[in-house]
Amino acid sequence: MRIVFMGTPDFAVASLNALVEAGYEIAGVVTAADKPAGRGQKLQESAVKKYAVEKGLKILQPLKLKDPEFIEELKGLKADLQVVVAFRMLPEIVWDMPAKGTINLHASLLPQYRGAAPINHAIINGETESGVTTFFLKHEIDTGDVIFSERVTIADDDSAGDLHDHLMEAGAGLLVKTVKAIEENTYKEQPQVFSDELKHAPKIFKEFCQIDWNQPVKNIYNLIRGLSPYPTAFTLLNEKTIKIFKAAYEQTEPGITPGEFQTDGKTYLKFATKDGLISVLDVQYEGKKRMMVDEFLRGMRL
């Protein structure tokens, strides 16, 4: 069975590697075009491209997925199945091309948390479990019939980065299981059931990341870990941005107005919330490197 793989970030590399290790024939890899990044604006390759180069796989990097030249090249790969992991939305002419269809790996237990940021939103909402789901692509995003899913527990102190890694590993295994079932025709699709009670996972913008200290302390704690390490929750301190990567919380009478802080100038910095205190542990002050709070306080006068 010939497979075309589509993906871009590290999350997708684990799945591509699992397919390669399982012995599947990767007819081609479709990934994002190289982009200028950093101070020197040097062209940077995607994580998936770097892996594909290392393994000697054929690489396609279309700027537009409806480009006739790309469509013809994709047809020429004669894929039986296309696999999509952390890639952009596909036009029908692409996802409907292979005889066995196109499958996607999504980092949630569908139909919950459809959208661009399921890992972040699951933690922000205080969920105690998430998971991965494989499904066939259809017109509407993340709505296709489910093939398999697998649950993953979320610990109380897991960040989005921690959950990303857990789901990346679980997803790679689930994807190989799914491809094997499609190859052997031993799967049964389950339609997703939609309701108004479902939680969604829309793309996260900067304004969403600013901490509102009038919120309950547990909500703020979940926001911080749900946005760490990226795009990162932040607040203002001395009229400059301070990003908070890791924190602890205390449900107690703060004794000061939400948004005000307590510090000994050496070991702790605590912000007041509606019903408690957020103790920041790992921070980055505007114009500075990321550091632990004691190092940060040594260089600051608050």
pLDDT tens digits along 268-297: 999 999 999 999 999 999 999 999 999 999
Confidence of residue 37 (pLDDT cuts 50, 70, 90): confident
The pLDDT assigned to 209 comes to 98
Q: What is the mean pLDDT of the chain?
A: 96
Q: Please report, rounded to a whole number, the percentage of residues in the chain having pLDDT higher than 90.
A: 93
List the domains of the chain with CATH numbers: 2-184 (3.40.50.170), 208-298 (3.10.25.10)
Task: Give every CB contact of residue 48 below 8 A, 6+ residues apart in sequence.
Answer: 5, 7, 8, 9, 12, 13, 16, 29, 31
Q: Are 148 and 134 in contact (CB under 8 A)?
A: yes
Indicate whether 126 pLDDT > 90: yes
Alpha-carbon distance of 146 to 111, in angstroms, equals 9
Residue 38 in this model has a pLDDT that exceeds 80: no
Structure tokens at 144: 């296709």
Q: What is the mean pLDDT of residues 92-96?
A: 97
pLDDT at 217: 98
The mean pLDDT of 198-203, rounded to a whole number, is: 96
- Can you give the pLDDT at residue 40? 80
Spell out a b/e string for 196-224, using b for 16 or more CB atoms within 10 Å of the CB, else e. eeeeebeebeeeebebebebebebbbbbb
Please tell me the distance from the alpha carbon of residue 210 to that of residue 224, in angstroms, as a whole number. Answer: 10
Q: In what order do the strands lie in the sheet with 81-85?
A: 59-60, 25-30, 2-7, 81-85, 102-106, 129-136, 146-153
Q: Is 218 helix (H, G, I), strand (E, B) or coil?
A: helix
pLDDT at 208 over 80: yes
pTM above 0.85, yes or no: yes
The dihedral built from the CA positions of residue 107, 31, 90 and 81, taken in this order, carries a sign that is negative
Instruction: Label residue 300 by pLDDT band (50, 70, 90).
Output: confident
H/E stretch holding 248: strand 240-250
